[in-house]
Amino acid sequence: MKRTIDTAYIFLFGASLTVSVAGIVFARDIFLLLGLPADALDAATLYMTVFLAGIVLMSGFYGTCAILRGFGDSKTPLYFMIIAAVLQILFEIVFILKFHLGIAGVAYATIAAEGATFMIGIVYLNRTHPYVRIDLKNIRFSRDIFYTSLRIGLPSGLQQTFVALGMMALVRIVNGFGTDAIAAYTIAGRIDSFSSLPAMNFSMALSAFVGQNLGAGKINRVKRGLRSTWVMISAITLIATLVNLLFSRQMMSLFTNDPEVIRIGAQYLVIVGIFYIGFSIMFVNNGLFRGAGDMIVPMFITLLALWAIRVPTAYLLSNKIGITGVWWSIAFSLTFGLSCSMIYYATGRWKNARIVDVPLNEGEYNEL
């Protein structure tokens, strides 16, 4: 376990440095490729350059949180997230209002907050788990563990890469509708991300739960855990859906006074909000698959939903019914992804992807 954690940190920092350098060099070219309006190009490039310069600290922060979740400690990463959020607000006040750094101040605040929390996390990890103590003098890289981790993590990494590219393609379509559409999409996306947080966190919790219980051969607990998670996430997501349907304009007006931006953003929140429960269940299902060590099929489901459904549909519908077509493409892709994940879960093939082969209770196995 110690060598696994050491290897993970070494890889995280090496990969982060590579992404940081490449991103800084090509940031402006990427925004030009996305068709970003000229009046936003300089500010976007400045923000991204500063943000990418500190991505090493951010990777360390999220890596530490992942390690703690792997120990079964889901509360401490939550506390670290809260600390990071509070620090970011304070740093933004200092960098923007006192030092007048503008858009760059937001990026500096993000880096400083997550960097400081990363250091706190390392201290906490070393004090509470001395057997995996992080010591730069004695940190060791294991090639065998790295290859095993790569086999597990590469599909997920490729998935996230292609998802990011797909989202860039979607942004390229939205950019064609002007600055009002860009502003509405950005604001609504931020609000939308809050509604997605429960699904993401339940998914991470379920992944750890599934991994631990499959490792112990307790397949029946996996089944009950998944069903309980479905119930909990559906109840929480239903509230988010109702809030979006009833108060979409009010939420948009918290961030802008432009009536056109509010109108476009409210449309997004209503259309996408209707499908929150389906999105949440799909995300939870993927958490089950990841916990079982099955990365390949979820990756293909995500890529098909994005590249075969969302992007082509967004392009076609936006040419016929305008920016609303992009919002409907998101809804259609979520429905497709949910259907595929439920079908794959029903096949039971994900149970065969366990990294460590342990005996499962046959009665419970068949029952699932």
Predicted confidence at residue 362, as pLDDT, reads 42
| Count of structural domains, the chain | 2
Tell me: do 205 and 338 sit in the same domain: yes
Q: What backbone torsions phi and psi does residue 81 show, to the nearest 5 degrees?
A: -60, -40
Q: Is residue 280 part of a domain?
A: yes
Tokens standing for 92?
A: 């933004």
Q: Is residue 148 part of a domain?
A: no
Q: Nearest CA to 293 among 218, 368, 350?
A: 350
Tell me: do 128 and 225 sit in the same domain: no
Q: Is residue 137 part of a domain?
A: yes
Q: Is residue 147 part of a domain?
A: no
Tell me: do 286 and 356 sit in the same domain: yes
Predicted confidence at residue 353, as pLDDT, reads 61
- Whole-prediction pTM value? 0.71
Write 114-118 long-range contacts (CB < 8 A, 24+): 114/54, 114/57, 114/58, 114/61, 114/84, 114/88, 115/54, 115/57, 115/58, 115/61, 116/84, 116/87, 117/61, 117/80, 117/83, 117/84, 117/87, 118/57, 118/58, 118/60, 118/61, 118/64
From first to last of its 368 residues, what are the pLDDT tens digits of the chain? 899 999 999 999 999 999 999 999 999 999 998 888 888 899 999 999 999 999 999 999 999 999 998 888 888 998 999 999 999 999 999 999 999 999 999 999 999 999 999 999 999 999 999 888 888 788 899 999 998 888 777 877 787 888 888 888 999 999 889 889 999 999 999 898 888 889 988 998 898 899 888 888 888 899 899 999 999 999 999 999 999 999 999 999 999 999 999 999 999 999 999 999 999 999 999 999 988 888 888 888 888 999 999 999 999 999 999 999 999 999 999 999 999 999 999 988 888 765 555 555 544 444 44
Q: Is residue 218 part of a domain?
A: yes
Q: Is residue 146 part of a domain?
A: no
Tell me: do 136 and 204 sit in the same domain: no
Tell me: do 239 and 99 sit in the same domain: no
Are the C-beta atoms of 116 and 108 separated by less than 8 Å? no
Tell me: do 190 and 294 sit in the same domain: yes
**Residue 335 structural domain:** 155-368
Tell me: do 105 and 198 sit in the same domain: no
Tell me: do 270 and 355 sit in the same domain: yes
- Please give the Cα distance from 174 to 171 (Å, whole number): 5
Tell me: do 252 and 310 sit in the same domain: yes
- Please give the Cα distance from 41 to 77 (Å, whole number): 35
Q: Is residue 27 part of a domain?
A: yes
User: Among the three residues 82, 117, 141, which one is the final residue of a domain in this structure?
Assistant: 141
Tell me: do 122 and 46 sit in the same domain: yes
User: Among the three residues 118, 141, 164, which one is the final residue of a domain in this structure?
Assistant: 141
Q: Is residue 258 part of a domain?
A: yes
Predicted confidence at residue 165, as pLDDT, reads 85
